Structure 1
Amino acid sequence: MSKRVPFQHSRRPSLSRVRGAVVAAGLGTTMALGASAAFAAGTMGSPEVANLIDGTAAHSVAKQAAVQGKAAKAAEAERVAVVEAAAKKAASWEKPVSHYELSASFGNDGSRWAHKHSGQDFAVPVGTKVTATHSGVVVKAGPNGGGDGPAYGNAVVIKHGNGTYSQYAHLSQIDVYAGQKVTTGERIALSGNTGNSSGPHLHFEIRHTADYGSAVNPVSFLHQKGVGV
């Protein structure tokens, strides 16, 4: 005789039951998220949250305005500093060349000059930049000393006001013209060896008039203006 084996149910859950559980869990999650979103939406529309948002926005605008205000003040301070520096520079005096050796001085005499030396010589190579020692208006510029005679070679004379003029001679190149306004430190020429010159140098004078014969000691004059030579 064959032995009957009792039928046993599988302990594994059916596929349909598993699917049902997953769907139920999904619905629960969706409902929970939906409730949270609804709560958040309702909260966002409340007067308390609206006031909080308005306050935050106002604070942000005020902070941005403060930053912009500081930037504007800094820009204005910088502009004022630039203007003051320019005004100070225009009122100042400078040496006509920056790197040099002093050679013939004011009042020297000898066979090189028909009269006593009328300026201060700065020994510099040909082509050295020559700048205006002070702001003013060019009144002479050209060969033949700009009108002061061939001994000066190419020369420039600048009127500074208050009866003061500066002269630059023996130039290899002139970069300004009569009637032109110049500022302190502006390039006006290049040094040279033109005219009655024993070697490359800049002849510099301070005068009471635009013409030869009215010169004063330029080194002493610059010292009075706070410029060491």
Structure 2
Amino acid sequence: MAFTRAPGKHRAPSRTTRRRANFAGAASLTAAGVIGTLASPALAADTETTLAQEAAPAAPARAIVIDDSLAATIDAQAAAQEAAAEKAAEAKAEAKAAARAKAEAKREARARAKELRAEKERAARAAERERLGSYRLPVAGSPVTTGYRTGGALWSSGSHSGVDFRAASGTSVVAVGAGTVVEAGWGGAYGNNIVIRMNDGTYTQYGHLSSIGVQIGRSVAPGEPIGLSGSTGNSTGPHLHFEARTTAEYGSDIDPVAYLRQHGVSV
């Protein structure tokens, strides 16, 4: 005959059933690693540490705390470095600008010096042209004593072919202008005489000299001494006979006073 449990009724488990349950619980606890007595102490500790690290959140990095005075010092240092860098850059730029200005000043100075030299050379050439183009009296400060074309028996042609300037014997006689000596020596009735071909193509003649100070081919400048006055040749006393000619030869004479005046000489 079969027996069944009445509804709502419970029996206490038997000893065998309780023993089986205890073994099953122990096995379950051992598998989960809960029972510490079933594992070694070191392994248990490592396991706990690992689990704790995995469970706990990552610790934040240690923050560096800077107080206000240190921050101000750092800012001041940075500002000073920046200012120093800017000052160095400005100084470098100023140095470059100064170097450029110096170079430009040198170029301008060289150009100005060159221009001044050119101006000086031009002025010197102009002065030389003026000097060479100038005329003066053959005997300084001396008046004309006998005029051009004066008639008389003293001259073979019947008239004076030049003018006479008063001059004591030994007075310096100069070239009236720039030219080249084409005759220097004895000239017959003229005594010791000099003939100069002037730079403008005309000729001048100086007679009755006591001495001659130039040679043929010599270039002379206005006012340059060429001899000393005297009374050589056909002469009645010391003086300078002066002629202006179109050629070096006798007979090509022109009015010497008009000639000198045309060249700016007051006679």
Name the CA distance, whole Å, in 1 between partners of 2:258 and 2:165: 15
Question: Do the aligned partners of residues 193 and 54 (structure 1) sit closer, same or farther apart at CA in structure 2, a change above 3 Å counting?
Answer: same
TM, length-normalised to structure 1: 0.69
Query: Distance between the aligned counterparts of 1:211 and 1:75, measured in 2?
Result: 45
- Number of aligned pairs? 184
Question: Which secondary structure state, in structure 2, belongs to the residue aligned with residue 190 of structure 1?
Answer: strand
Higher RCO, Cα 8 Å, sep 6+: 1
Question: Which amino acid is 1:200 matched to?
Answer: P
Structure 2 segments unaligned to the other structure (5+ residues): 1-80
Q: 2:164 aligns with which of 99, 103, 121?
A: 121
Matched, 1:63 2:105: yes
- CA distance in 1 between counterparts of 2:246 and 2:174 reads 20
CA 1:44 to 1:193, structure 2 compared with 1: closer, same or farther past 3 Å? farther
Aligned ranges 1:157-168 → 2 under 5 Å: 157-160=195-198, 164-168=202-206
- TM-superposition CA deviations, 1:204-228 (whole Å, max 9, x none): 0012322222222210222233322
1:61 Cα deviation (Å)?
Answer: 2.8
SS at match of 2:146: coil
* Alpha-carbon distance change, 161 to 83 in structure 1, aligned in 2, over 3 angstroms: closer
Render the CA deviation track for 1:82-119: whole Å, top value 9, x for unaligned. 11222233334332222212211111233443431111
1:84 matched to 2:84? The reply is: no
Residue 204 (structure 1) aligned to one of 224, 242, 254: 242
Q: Assess, with a 3 A threshold, how the Cα gap between structure 1 residues 43 and 206 changes in structure 2: closer, same or farther.
A: same
2:136 maps to 1:94: yes
What is the root-mean-square deviation in Å for CA atoms of aligned residues? 2.6
Larger radius of gyration: 2
TM-score by length of 2: 0.60
Which amino acid in structure 2 is aligned with residue 125 of structure 1?
A
Q: Does 1:169 align with 2:207?
A: yes
For 1:55 and 1:219, the matched residues in 2 are separated by: 68
Q: Which residue of 1 aligns with 2:223?
A: 185
Match of 2:184 among 135, 141, 148: 141
Give every structure 1 segment of 4 or more consecutive aligned residues whose post-TM-superposition deviation is greater than 4 Å. 42-45
- Between 1:98-107 and 1:186-195, the stretch displaced more is 186-195
The equivalent of 1:21 in structure 2 is: none
Alignment check: 8 A CA contact 2:183 2:195 kept? yes
Provide, for residues 5-24 of structure 1, a one-character-per-residue CA deviation record: whole Å limited to 9, x for no partner: xxxxxxxxxxxxxxxxxxxx
> Residue 194 of structure 1 corresponds to which residue in structure 2?
232
Where structure 1 has 5 or more consecutive residues not aligned to the other structure, the ranges are: 1-38
Instruction: Report Cα offsets for 1:59-94 as digits up to 9, x if no partner.
Output: 223223323322221221011011122223333433
Residue 263 of structure 2 corresponds to residue 225 of structure 1? yes
